[in-house]
Structure 1
Amino acid sequence: MRFVFAIVAFIAAAVMIGLGIAQRTVFLEPDRVSMSAELSGGEADFIVIEPEALAAQPGKQTITVSGSPKVFLSYGRSSDVEAWLGETPYVAVGYDADADELTNEIVVTKPVADSNPTAPTTPAPAEGEAETVAAPTPDGSDLWLDEFTDDLVLTTTIDVPEDISVLISANGGDELPSRVKIDWPLDNATPWAGPLIVGGALVFLVGIALVIAGFVNHRRMRGPRRNRPGGTRGKLPSAPKPGRTQVGGSRRAIGRAKRIAIVPFLVVPALALSACSADYWPSFDQQAAPETTAPATPLATPGPTDEPVDDTPKAQPAVTVPQMERIMRRVAVFATDVDASRDAEAAAQRFTGPALEARTANYAIRGSLAEHPLPTPIPASPLTLTLPQQATGWPRTVLTIAKNSDDPTIAPSALVLVQETPRDNYKILYAISLAPDADVPEVAPASIGAPPISPEFKGLVMPTGQVAAAYADVLMKGEASEFYPMFDPEGDTLMQQLGPAGQKAINDGLQDTVDATYSNAVGDSPTIALATNDAGALVSVSIEQTENVIPNDGGTIGFKPGAGAALSGFTGKSAKGVQRVIGIQLLFYVPGVGNESEDQIRLLGWSESLIGASEVP
Structure 2
Amino acid sequence: MRFVLAIVAFVLAAVMIMLGIAQRTVFLEPASTSLSVTVEGGDRYAVITSKALRANPGNQTITVSGPGTVFLAYGRSADVDAWLSEEAHAEIGFARTTGKLTSTSAGEADPAASPTATPTAVPTPSATAAPDAPAADAEPAVAGANPAGSDLWLEEFTADRDLKTRINVPAGISVIVASDGTQPAPTKITLDWPADNATPLAGPLIAGGAVLLLIGLILYLLALMHMRRSRGPRRNLPKGPRMPRLPRAPRPKSIKANEITGPRRSITRSFLAVVPVVLVSSLALSGCSADFWPSTSSKPSAAASPTAGASDAPKQAEDVPPPAVTVPQLERIVRKIAVLTRDADVALDAEALATRFTGPALEQRLANYTIRTKIKKFAALPALPASPLTLTLPQQSSAWPRVVMTVILDKDNPTVAPTAIVLRQENPRANYLVEYAVQLEAAAQVPGVAPAVIGAPLIAPDSKLLLMPPEQIAAAYADVLLKGEASEFFDLFEAKGDTFRTQVGLEKKTEKKAKLPKTASIAFGTAVGTGKTIALATNDSGSIVAVSIKETETVKPVDAGATVSPEGASKALSGVSATAKGIQSIYGDQLLFHVPAAGSTDKIVLLGFAQGLISSAELK
TM-score (norm 2): 0.84
Verify: 1:607 aligned to 2:591, yes or no: no
Q: CA RMSD in A?
A: 2.8
1:362 aligned partner: 368
2:215 aligned partner: 206
- In the superposition, relative to structure 1, how do residues 212 and 419 fare at CA in structure 2: closer, same or farther (>3 Å)? same
Verify: 1:519 aligned to 2:557, yes or no: no
Matched to 1:182, the amino acid is L
- Distance apart, 1:477 and its partner CA: 1.9
- Distance apart, 1:512 and its partner CA: 2.9
CA distance in 2, matches of 1:557, 1:142: 52
Tell me if the contact between 2:320 and 2:396 (Cα under 8 Å) persists in the aligned partners: no
Which one of the candidate residues 369, 376, 380 is aligned to 1:374?
380
- In the superposition, relative to structure 1, how do residues 425 and 57 fare at CA in structure 2: closer, same or farther (>3 Å)? same
Deviations along 1:329-377, one digit per CA (max 9) or x if unpaired, are: 1111111122122122332111100000001101100110011122221
- Distance apart, 1:226 and its partner CA: 11
2:48 aligned partner: 49
1:460 aligned partner: 466
CA distance in 2, matches of 1:422, 1:262: 71
- Distance apart, 1:604 and its partner CA: 1.0
Helix, strand or coil for the counterpart of 1:390? Answer: coil
- Distance apart, 1:520 and its partner CA: 1.6
1:21 aligned partner: 21
- In the superposition, relative to structure 1, how do residues 547 and 36 fare at CA in structure 2: closer, same or farther (>3 Å)? same
After TM superposition, list the pairs within 5 Å mapping 1:57-72 onto structure 2. Answer: 57-72=56-71
1:295 aligned partner: none
Matched to 2:96, the amino acid is A
1:436 aligned partner: 442
TM-score (norm 1): 0.84
CA distance in 1, matches of 2:121, 2:59: 32
Which one of the candidate residues 147, 163, 179 is aligned to 1:154?
163
Tell me if the contact between 1:519 and 1:547 (Cα under 8 Å) persists in the aligned partners: yes
After TM superposition, list the pairs within 5 Å mapping 1:32-431 onto structure 2. Answer: 32-42=32-42, 44-108=43-107, 116=125, 134-172=143-181, 174-222=183-231, 260-286=272-298, 315-431=321-437
Helix, strand or coil for the counterpart of 2:15? Answer: helix
After TM superposition, list the pairs within 5 Å mapping 1:562-601 onto structure 2. Answer: 562-574=568-580, 576-593=581-598, 595=600, 599-601=602-604
- Distance apart, 1:205 and its partner CA: 2.0
Aligned-residue identity in percent: 51
Deviations along 1:409-447, one digit per CA (max 9) or x if unpaired, are: 322110100011111111000001111232111211122
CA distance in 1, matches of 2:562, 2:431: 48
- Distance apart, 1:559 and its partner CA: 3.7
Deviations along 1:364-405, one digit per CA (max 9) or x if unpaired, are: 001100111222211111111111111131111010111122
Helix, strand or coil for the counterpart of 1:520? Answer: strand
Tell me if the contact between 1:68 and 1:175 (Cα under 8 Å) persists in the aligned partners: no
Deviations along 1:213-251, one digit per CA (max 9) or x if unpaired, are: 33444445555799999xxxxxxxxxxxxxx99xxxxx9
Matched to 1:462, the amino acid is M
Tell me if the contact between 2:483 and 2:506 (Cα under 8 Å) persists in the aligned partners: yes
CA distance in 1, matches of 2:359, 2:435: 5
CA distance in 2, matches of 1:614, 1:467: 28
Matched to 2:465, the amino acid is G
Tell me if the contact between 1:433 and 1:605 (Cα under 8 Å) persists in the aligned partners: yes
- Distance apart, 1:262 and its partner CA: 4.3
2:498 aligned partner: 492
Matched to 2:470, the amino acid is T
CA distance in 1, matches of 2:234, 2:298: 64
Helix, strand or coil for the counterpart of 1:316? Answer: coil
CA distance in 1, matches of 2:281, 2:533: 72
- Distance apart, 1:536 and its partner CA: 1.4
- Distance apart, 1:26 and its partner CA: 0.2
- Distance apart, 1:259 and its partner CA: 5.5
- Distance apart, 1:161 and its partner CA: 1.7
CA distance in 2, matches of 1:517, 1:13: 103
- In the superposition, relative to structure 1, how do residues 468 and 571 fare at CA in structure 2: closer, same or farther (>3 Å)? same
CA distance in 2, matches of 1:86, 1:357: 32
- Distance apart, 1:112 and its partner CA: 13
CA distance in 2, matches of 1:113, 1:458: 34
Tell me if the contact between 2:566 and 2:578 (Cα under 8 Å) persists in the aligned partners: no
Helix, strand or coil for the counterpart of 1:458? Answer: coil
Tell me if the contact between 1:115 and 1:394 (Cα under 8 Å) persists in the aligned partners: no
Matched to 1:145, the amino acid is L
CA distance in 2, matches of 1:356, 1:464: 22
CA distance in 1, matches of 2:163, 2:264: 65
Deviations along 1:555-604, one digit per CA (max 9) or x if unpaired, are: 53334431111121112222x32222111111111122355xx6111111
Tell me if the contact between 1:313 and 1:392 (Cα under 8 Å) persists in the aligned partners: no
Helix, strand or coil for the counterpart of 2:221? Answer: helix
- Name which of structure 1's ranges 80-89 and 210-219 shifts more when overlaid on structure 2: 210-219
- Distance apart, 1:527 and its partner CA: 0.7
CA distance in 2, matches of 1:143, 1:430: 21
1:130 aligned partner: none
Matched to 1:150, the amino acid is A
Verify: 1:507 aligned to 2:519, yes or no: no
Q: Which runs of 5+ in 2 are unaligned?
A: 110-119, 128-141, 239-255, 258-262, 301-317
1:446 aligned partner: 452
- In the superposition, relative to structure 1, how do residues 461 and 174 fare at CA in structure 2: closer, same or farther (>3 Å)? closer
Kindly tell me the number of residue pairs found equivalent between the two proteins: 557
- Distance apart, 1:616 and its partner CA: 3.4
- Distance apart, 1:72 and its partner CA: 1.4
